[in-house]
């Protein structure tokens, strides 16, 4: 069953066509990868899919509902969460507070001006469990800005997970990570895919081909190839990018 489906998406900024007739879909429980060279339109595609930009044409459906052009908060509330290529954290908050504020438990009380959130043990337990799941147990009280790069990447995913999504969009989660950090992240994503549908933009071919069920290749704002990792290994563009000529 298709959980997520984007059909015929097009987006232009002024005269520049950034996305043209993009069609993607995700089955429930699937991990779909998106790859392509820098400037191909991958992040813009994510931005359109998650409500940051409205598409000029095309539709986006999630769990049978048309979510085209909805605001990010409305899409988030329907069960879609995302991480960002350039990290977007609440830097003055502790790791725990970053996660805490993203939980539906706190969001539902968002207009409560009286209850002491620091005394809400349910919320704290929920947030601590999320931090534990992304490998940040013991870092609860550390200020987000003081965490290492790899830990901030993990927290970025933790904030997205805290929203209790059905579907997770990850935008280049390995960007800037070393081999060890990438391996840890691969383990994390592998564990997440057991319970979530995931769409992931990634440049690291080994990482992506090891995890994805299907991969779409975007170039010049269009999907130029898609298929299983095995099928795509035969693709000319992917073969060349493996040699580092395009990626």
> Alpha-carbon distance 214 to 198, whole Å?
11
Binding positions for another protein, rule: CB under 8 A: 50, 71-73, 76-77, 81-82, 84, 88-94, 96-97, 100-102, 104, 106-107, 109-119, 141, 143, 159, 162-163
Q: Are strands 57-62 and 2-13 parallel, antiparallel or unpaired?
A: antiparallel
Which of 237, 216, 236 shows the shortest CA–CA distance to 19?
A: 216
Instruction: Give the nearer residue to another protein in terms of CB position, either 23 or 143.
Output: 143
Instruction: Give the nearer residue to another protein in terms of CB position, either 4 or 237.
Output: 4
Q: How far is the CB of 234 from another protein (least distance, A)?
A: 37
Q: How far is the CB of 53 from another protein (least distance, A)?
A: 13
Q: Is residue 125 packed enough to be buried (19+ CB in 10 Å), middle (13-18) or exposed (0-12)?
A: exposed
Other C-beta atoms closer than 10 Å to the C-beta of 54 total 12
CA distances from 124 to 116, 137, 175, 230 (A): 12, 13, 30, 43
Q: How far is the CB of 79 from another protein (least distance, A)?
A: 10
Instruction: Give the nearer residue to another protein in terms of CB position, either 57 or 105.
Output: 105
Which of 71, 83, 90, 13 shows the shortest CA–CA distance to 46?
A: 83
Secondary-structure percent of the chain, ordered helix, strand, coil, rounded to 5: 35, 25, 35
Instruction: Give the nearer residue to another protein in terms of CB position, either 100 or 208.
Output: 100
Q: How far is the CB of 150 from another protein (least distance, A)?
A: 19
Q: How far is the CB of 65 from another protein (least distance, A)?
A: 16
Instruction: Give the nearer residue to another protein in terms of CB position, either 77 or 195.
Output: 77
Specify whether the CB–CB gap between 35 and 242 falls below 8 A.
no
Instruction: Give the nearer residue to another protein in terms of CB position, either 153 or 214.
Output: 153
Instruction: Give the nearer residue to another protein in terms of CB position, either 104 or 229.
Output: 104
Specify whether the CB–CB gap between 167 and 196 falls below 8 A.
yes
Token digits of residue 216: 């779409």
Give me the half-sphere count of Cα atoms (radius 13 Å) on the Cβ side of residue 193.
Answer: 21
Q: How far is the CB of 121 from another protein (least distance, A)?
A: 10
Q: How far is the CB of 137 from another protein (least distance, A)?
A: 16
């Amino acid at each position: 069953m298709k959980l997520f489906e984007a059909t015929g998406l097009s987006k232009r900024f002024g005269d520049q066509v950034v996305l043209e007739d993009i069609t993607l879909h995700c089955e429930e429980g699937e991990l779909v990868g998106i790859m392509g060279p820098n400037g191909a339109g991958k992040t813009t595609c994510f931005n359109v899919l998650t409500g940051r930009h409205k598409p000029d044409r095309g539709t986006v459906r999630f769990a049978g509902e048309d979510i085209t052009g909805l605001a990010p908060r409305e899409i988030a509330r329907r069960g879609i969460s995302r991480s960002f290529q350039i990290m977007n954290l609440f830097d003055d908050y502790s790791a725990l507070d970053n996660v805490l504020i993203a939980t539906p438990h706190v969001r539902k009380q968002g207009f409560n001006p009286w209850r002491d959130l620091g005394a809400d043990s349910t919320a704290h337990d929920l947030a601590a469990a999320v931090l534990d799941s992304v490998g940040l147990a013991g870092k609860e009280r550390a200020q987000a800005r003081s965490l290492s790069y790899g830990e901030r990447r993990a927290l970025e995913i933790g904030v997205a997970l805290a929203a209790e999504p059905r579907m997770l969009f990850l935008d280049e989660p390995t960007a800037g990570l070393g081999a060890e950090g990438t391996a840890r992240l691969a383990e994390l994503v592998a564990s997440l895919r057991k319970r979530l549908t995931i769409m992931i933009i990634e440049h690291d071919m080994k990482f992506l081909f090891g995890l994805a069920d299907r991969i779409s290749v975007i170039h010049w704002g269009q999907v130029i190839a898609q298929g299983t990792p095995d099928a795509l290994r035969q693709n000319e563009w992917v073969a060349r990018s493996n040699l580092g000529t395009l990626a």
